[in-house]
Amino acid sequence: MSVKKLSFGPASKMPEVPKSEYAELKFSETGELMWEHKEDGEYGMKFFIPIVLLTHPSVESLPASGSAMHWVSKAEAAEQLYNVVTENIDAPNLKKEIFGKKWKLTRSITGSYRLDQI
pLDDT, one tens digit per residue, over 60-86 is: 889 999 999 999 999 999 999 998 888
Is pLDDT at 28 greater than 70 in this prediction?
yes
Alpha carbon separation from 67 to 26, 29, 36 (Å, rounded)? 10, 14, 19
Q: In angstroms, rounded to a whole number, what is the distance separating the alpha carbons of residues 4 and 21?
A: 38
Q: In angstroms, rounded to a whole number, what is the distance separating the alpha carbons of residues 21 and 32?
A: 29
| pTM, to two decimals | 0.85
> Is the separation of the CB atoms in 2 and 84 below 8 Å?
no
> Is the separation of the CB atoms in 80 and 86 below 8 Å?
no
